[in-house]
Amino acid sequence: MTGLNQASHWGVVSNPTPEVRTLSLPEVTPVEYRRNLVKLAACELRIPTLLEFEEKPPAAFQHALRKEYPHYEQGQALTGVGPGGVEGETRHILRSRHRNYAIVFRASAISLEVSKYEGFNEFFRRLRQVVDAARNVIDSDFFTRIGLRYVNGLPTGPDPRGWVTSDLVRPLEVGVLGTVNRYWQEVRGSAPIGDYSFRHGYRGDKETESAEYLLDIDMFIEDIEVDRCLELVDQLHTQSFAFFHWCLGRKALEYLGTGTPKATIAPQKK
């Protein structure tokens, strides 16, 4: 048995750990464009589960935000199917006066969502309010996960050429797939900060003039101290913007118009 090491003799092969490569995109300074294509912007702050919040949100949290979020409603979010049937989780929703912003409070997470996006500076201002209000009621000094998600809709119609980078739509450009009714892909990986989930394509019928090509970018990171939350959300936004910018073609950039640099974010108060 000479010439064989013991590991090989017993059939054990030592494989090196594969290198984990992170998202690598050109650096871009985030800007606020004259137009935006945002259909949904959301930041979710997951917390260690507190079952008492299943019944109602903490009064101190609701009171702190009541001036800007006077409307309250309650709903159920489906979480799966268990032995007893469909399982759900209570959602306490605080909506802004004009109902375009919503704070969703669950036993395991708090999220800020907006359907009529006014820019990152306004979104971040409101997120700071949420974090400040949550700090004293979640009974934790860390978030189990923070995620920043943007869903943009590009008004491409049935032809994405010029709107979306060819790296994403080459099969559609060359026509190898024929007439496509649905084109939807998902990619997950590591980023320089945290991880990402990227979904893109046409969710509905592509062959219509009103068809939109969706770019759904979710950046997230786990186990974050509350005091570092806003700093990291700002960094996740910079990553997300670079990803979004990489996805765009010439027509999309022309449609968005001139951009002005994002304002500097003030440090988080402790």
pLDDT single digits (tens) 37-91: 999 999 999 999 988 877 777 889 999 999 999 999 988 765 544 454 445 678 8
Q: Are 23 and 238 in contact (CB under 8 A)?
A: no
pLDDT at 236 over 90: yes
Rounded Cα distance, 265 and 244, in Å: 20
Taking only Cα atoms into account, the Rg of the chain, rounded to an integer number of angstroms, comes to 22
Rounded Cα distance, 263 and 128, in Å: 15
Q: Which residues make beta-bridge pairs with 93?
A: 73, 104
The pLDDT of residue 86 is 41
17 or 221: which leads in pLDDT: 221
Rounded Cα distance, 270 and 159, in Å: 50
Q: What are the pLDDT digits (tens) for 143-163? A: 999 999 999 999 999 899 999
pLDDT at 201 over 50: yes
The pLDDT of residue 4 is 47
3-17, 79-93, 253-267 — most confident range: 253-267
DSSP-H helix ranges across 181-228: none
pLDDT at 1 over 50: no
Q: What are the pLDDT digits (tens) for 94-112? A: 999 999 999 999 999 999 9
Q: What are the pLDDT digits (tens) for 176-193? A: 988 888 899 999 999 999
Q: Residues 170-178: what's their mean pLDDT? A: 90
Q: Are 130 and 205 in contact (CB under 8 A)?
A: no
